[in-house]
Amino acid sequence: MAAKNQIKVVLMSYKYSFMREMLNKTSFISGIVFMMLNNACMVGQWIVLFTLKADFGGYGFREIILLWGFAAGTYGVAHAFFAQAFHLSDLIVNGKLDAYLVQPKNILISVITSAIIPHALGDIIFAYVACFIYSFNIKVFLLFTLLIITGGLILTSLAAILNSLSFWLKNSDIIADTGVSAVIFFATYPDGIFHGLTKWILFTIIPVGIANYIPVRSIINCDYSLILFNILACILFIAFAFIIFYRGLKRYASGNLMSARV
Amino acid sequence: MAIIEVKKLSKTFKVKLKEKGLIGSLKAIIKPKYKKVEAVKNISFEIEKGEVVAFIGPNGAGKSTTIKMMTSILYPDKGSINIMGLDPTKDRKKLAYQIGTVFGQKEQLWTHLTPYDNFKFFGAIYDINPSVIEKKIDEFRELFELDEFINTPVRNLSLGQRIRCEIVASLIHEPKILFLDEPTIGLDPVVKENIRTLIKRMNKEYKTTIFLTSHDVSDIEKLCKRVIIINNGQVVLDDSMENLKYHYLNKKLVDAKMKEKINLDDEEGITILKDKGYNLKLEVDITKRSVADAIKLLDPDKIIDINISNVPLEDIISNIYKNKE
């Protein structure tokens, strides 16, 4: 019952956030369209590269399209539906969590779902276009959908964990931005081009391997054990994000800055 | 039985110190210095059901910190809080159903939505059935006269209308206790009076216990039957408004306009506060002298006009703050 009510509030929150973003119709639509174009331009670079070489780290052109689509999809899911996870540091440092703390709902869920970023919808649309270019197949579509959600949740959890360090460090937004940007940056390169220590880092400190590379491999090879691994990793990341956030919350100092919920 | 019990509550903040200028900033990076600020020191009080209590003090006295600990926003360092049998540090969600909060400086409403949509959202947050929310909104719309602006986006409302909506939103789940942190801040006198009427009505109609902080003495005088004064993180006075006035209103002010100049000096129990020749202002300590003594001293035949008044409550409270520092 509590979970049902929490989902109801989250859905209402999305509805009202969409209403807010749609107040400026031009900005809303152009944000979505330009993000799709931006992604398409980046893929254009790979088209040029593939005229020079047929294979990059074991990825052909179709696989690269899938990789790009997957990277856009995870980014899109994380930023469209959990946008505030990426701004948690500001909310913590400037004492903007008060309104959520006095409500009988899960604080972390309520906070991170309280805003959307419209252009992230452009990423999701682009992701599906890329998925269909890779393979117009229902199984691929379902796997892709499942895994961009788990990937998006891993990215969101990483953002929440790093931003929650602000409870201890006072301002961890630079750490969080760097960590999240690193995942987004490496997500668009095939993992086969990385070796040794770099590859180890990409599967541990910068968990792009878990959020992106493994899921893409599992779609290409239809490997269910990797999918299961990915789901378990996602659950662990979420659990860790909740533990860090709630541990830190005991150190929350609030604040007296004037603020409004916009 | 008390609805709120606060026992030996303390909260300390660690504040980073920084010397002035660029060198100070560099020093703060290399070797940061901190100081501990004891915002709340060992305070205790109890509040009964249905009471309207003013929790007042100068800026930085620890009012907001105390309210925030009582509403689960901050964790206390020491002491305990019991609100309707719930501990705010452990029972945050359960407590949230029982209390309402309005922070005058922090808006909880979505500014792009209308009050109506906001109330529906708050209803969902408190798991209220949609049909029940509709009934509640209708009830509040009538009771708190919201008709004029219930369908106007919050960002287009005046400050007074917005605060009124904040209060209504905090009541949507019928809380047993309402915490109001400076609800009338920045409002004009007419709107302040409206908000006070609304608070009074809430207390009367719904028997809501009200815990109010305000710097506006009129709020306290017109709404509260009990005053808790906090200064430097400690409770310096916890008494009924009646007692506060009785014990501290032992001085009268006598303003007199005279036909001719008279020369007066301070006497025991009578202090000359202002002497501008024809206009005099005396303070009479009625525990030592009577007002009649002061009038005799002025010589009644020479008085054109006279006004006898109590010392304003604001001055009394300021004196309590100063004396306990």
Q: What is the DSSP string of B11-70?
A: EEEEEEE--SHHHHHHHHHHS-EEEEEEEEEEEEEEEETT-EEEEE-STTSSHHHHHHHH
Structural domain containing residue A216: 2-249
The amino acid present at A42, given as its one-letter code, is: M
If we measure between CA atoms, which residue out of B230, B231, B244, B233 comes closest to residue B325? B231
Number of other residues whose CB lies within 10 A of the CB of residue A236: 13
- B235 φ, ψ to 5°? -75, 120
Q: Show the CA angle centred on residue A105, arms to residues B62 and B146, nearest 5°.
A: 75
Q: How many domains, in total, are found in chain A?
A: 1
Q: Would you write out chain B's pLDDT as a tens digit for each of its 325 residues?
A: 799 999 999 999 888 777 778 888 788 778 888 888 899 999 999 999 999 999 988 888 899 899 999 999 999 999 999 999 999 999 999 999 999 998 877 778 998 899 999 999 999 999 999 999 999 999 888 877 889 999 999 999 988 888 889 888 998 999 999 999 888 887 778 878 888 888 888 898 888 999 998 888 788 888 899 999 998 899 988 999 888 777 777 788 899 998 888 888 888 888 888 888 788 898 898 888 888 988 888 888 888 999 998 877 777 777 777 765 5
8 A C-beta contact, residue B94 and residue A104: yes
Distance in angstroms (rounded) separating the CA atoms of residues B153 and A92: 28
> Does the residue A254 lie in any domain?
no
Domain contains A256:
no
**Yes or no: is domain B249-324 CATH 3.30.70?**
yes
A41 touches B at CB < 8 Å: no
Residue A85 lies in a domain: yes
Q: How many CB pairs under 8 A join A and B?
A: 81
Chain B hits for A21, Cβ within 8 Å? none
The contacts of residue A24 (CB under 8 Å, 6+ apart) are: none
Check: CATH 3.40.50.300 for B2-9+41-245? yes
Please, which residues 101-120 of chain A have a Cβ atom closer than 8 Å to chain B? Answer: 101-105
Residues of B whose CB is below 8 A from A102: 71-73, 96, 99, 101
DSSP A228-249: HHHHHHHHHHHHHHHHHHHHHH
Dist. CA B303–CA B44, nearest whole Å: 51
Q: For residue B314, report the phi and psi dihedrals to the nearest 5 degrees.
A: -60, -45
Going by the DSSP 8-state scheme, the letter that residue A84 receives in this structure is: G
Query: Would residue A193 count as lying in a domain?
Result: yes
Q: Supply φ then ψ for residue A118, to 5 degrees.
A: -60, -40
CA atoms B25, B30, B32, B33: torsion sign? negative
Contact between chains at B127 and A103 (C-beta distance less than 8 A): no
| Single-letter amino acid code for the residue at A181 | S
| Residue B36 forms contact with A (CB below 8 Å) | no
Parallel, antiparallel or unpaired: strands B226-231 and B52-56: parallel
Residue A218 lies in a domain: yes
Q: Give residue B222's identity as a one-letter amino acid code.
A: K
The secondary structure element, H or E, covering residue B284 is strand B279-285
Per-residue pLDDT tens over the stretch A153-193 = 999 999 999 999 999 987 789 999 999 999 999 999 999 99
What are the residue ranges of CATH 3.40.50.300 in chain B? Answer: 2-9+41-245
Q: Which pLDDT tens digit goes with each residue over A126-139? A: 999 999 999 999 99
